[in-house]
Structure 1
Amino acid sequence: MTTRAEAIDPIVRERLACPQDHGPLIDAGDELYNPRLHVAYRIDSDGIPVMLIDEARAVDDAEHERIVASQ
């Protein structure tokens, strides 16, 4: 099964960056994840990443380790 992150057009995906530190993001299922700041950005049901700082979700240390280990 393809995740929402995997379904993003590759040309669009390569241009997406974290709006906070402008660094690269990791595909994390239905989210894009910034491992430097421990925040995740959801991808809506239409496959559109919601790259708004106010809508970023904080990720705890245990989830961070799980996401990074799966890469």
Structure 2
Amino acid sequence: MKPDDPLLRIIACPIDKGQLTLLLPEEVLYNPRLHRRYPIIDGIPQLLPSSGTRVPDEEHERILRRIGP
């Protein structure tokens, strides 16, 4: 998945239905509101609630610094 992929405009977090942020080079989608990341496997976002993992607070802060406001 690339940052200009049109799919990024329409996919949403399966839990809060909010926008997700693509993190590269990790190839994951991140929900900063819930501190959850969803993997992208073979170019396909895994957006089941059970496929997301909670990010520890320290890692969440690092991610926020990377993606900006």
Length-normalised TM-score, structure 1:
0.82
Residue identity matched to 1:26? T
Distance (whole Å) between structure 2 residues aligned to residue 52 and residue 20 of structure 1: 9
User: Greater relative contact order: 1 or 2 (C-alpha under 8 angstroms, separation 6 or more)?
Assistant: 1
How does 1:45-64 map onto structure 2 within 5 Å? 46-64=42-60
Equivalences, count: 65
Task: Verify: 1:17 aligned to 2:12, yes or no.
Answer: yes
Change (3 A) 1:8 1:51: farther
Distance (whole Å) between structure 2 residues aligned to residue 48 and residue 40 of structure 1: 14
RMSD between superposed Cα atoms in Å? 1.4
Q: Give 5+ residue unaligned stretches, structure 1.
A: none
Give the aligned partner of residue 31 of structure 1.
28
Residue identity matched to 1:55? S
Q: Give 5+ residue unaligned stretches, structure 2.
A: none
8 Å CA contact retained: 1:19, 1:53: yes
8 Å CA contact retained: 1:8, 1:47: no
Q: Percent identity?
A: 43
